[in-house]
Amino acid sequence: MPHRKKILLLATGGTIASRKSESGLKPGISPQELIAFLPGVEEICDITAVELLNLDSSNMEPAHWKKMAHAIKENYGAYDGFVIAHGTDTMAYTAAALSYMVQNTKKPVVITGSQKPADLEITDAKTNLLDSFRYATDDHSQGVQIVFDGKVIAGTRARKTRSKSYNAFSSMDFPCLAVIQDGSIMRYLPMLPYEEEVSFYEELDENVFLLKMIPGIRPRVLGSIFEQYHCIIVESFGVGGIPRSVSGEFYRLCQQYPDRLVIMATQVAHEGSDMTVYEVGHDIKKHCHFLESYDMTLEAVIAKAMWMLGNYKIAEDNIEEIFYRKINYDVIFGREGR
């Protein structure tokens, strides 16, 4: 007789668990009620439901990621997989963060949610939850993924690209790992077994700042940013570069704060950065030591920076090697593809 899988549902709030109020939707559906909305779910697996958080996901913070990682670690031996019910607005950040905090997990960690609350007659919540439980109980599933609108997306490749439609998430510059249709899982990429044992990390350094370049940006606040934050991620134009309006002060501050981690990224959604193409990018390579995100998603860059700074020391560890180490498909080509 096949082993009947045990799945732990960790509810965190979000639209999927929201009800209407006088001031708009807010979380109010218990995890037990979520399960009660799912026809036939008892045929898929045994579910234990826990309300870990009760938040609109706009209020999600790194401290909450630590709580999720800790809950998975504490219950890892007792369950065959984990489903996290989450709001969509910060789901991609959470999926990326858990990819670094729960590594080499042979037991799947599935993150899902919905664009409409579960208690509505017309909603995507029931399908997304059922698909997530199916995926979490499949013998070939592992790692941290988002399951949403029939797509299985690696935790570091997801981005919310639509604010209202059911197909809210896209896998950025990387194929979906699988699709789920009519209860069947069709895999596009084989899941190679992890050679290393599962590793849990519960430390994060939240002192990460995202600096977005805009036309005409001025250096007024750069000094304060470099003074207060351990990592500055620059979301630049195109393939990357620092515009002349701030470059002088930026270069000076890089020299003044050599212990700051500077990461160059791009605000363009697809195809990544390459700082060697234009003069504005080439110049910063001459004046500053920094890492370049290449084909990583911005969500993954932010989460990986917090994880690295929380667990390694810039002055003592090989931060560059750690940053470009592939974790859950976060780096596709990186430096080698340029």
Q: Where are the beta strands (DSSP E) in 184-239?
A: 184-187, 199-200, 208-212, 231-236
The CATH architecture assigned to 6-200 reads: 3-Layer(aba) Sandwich (3.40)
Q: How far apart are the first and last CA of the chain?
A: 52
- Which residues are known to be catalytic? 15
- Tell me, what DSSP letter sits at residue 118? T
Report in angstroms the alpha-carbon separations of 284 from 155, 174, 262, 312. Answer: 31, 29, 11, 25
Percent of the chain with pLDDT over 70: 93
Using one digit for the tens of pLDDT, what is the confidence trace for 38-71? 988 999 999 999 999 999 999 999 999 999 999 9
Using one digit for the tens of pLDDT, what is the confidence trace for 166-216? 999 999 999 999 999 999 999 998 888 898 999 999 999 999 999 999 999
Helix (H, G, I), strand (E, B) or coil at 256: helix
- Which residues lie below 8 Å from residue 320, measured CB to CB, with a gap of 6+? 291
The CATH architecture assigned to 208-337 reads: 3-Layer(aba) Sandwich (3.40)
Angle 62-75/91-101 helices, nearest 10 degrees? 50
Of 96, 174, 187, residue with least CA distance to 134: 187
Helix, strand, coil shares, percent, the chain, to 5: 30, 25, 45
Q: Is the pLDDT of residue 337 over 80?
A: no
The pLDDT assigned to 233 comes to: 95
Q: Measured in whole angstroms, how far is the alpha carbon of residue 295 from the centre of its chain?
A: 15
Percent of the chain with pLDDT over 90: 75
Using one digit for the tens of pLDDT, what is the confidence trace for 1-46? 567 999 999 999 999 999 987 778 888 899 999 999 998 899 999 9
The pLDDT assigned to 277 comes to: 56
Of 68, 171, 246, residue with least CA distance to 232: 246
Q: Residue ranges of the domains in the chain?
A: 6-200, 208-337
* Highest mean pLDDT of the ranges 8-22, 152-166, 247-261: 152-166
The pLDDT assigned to 338 comes to: 44
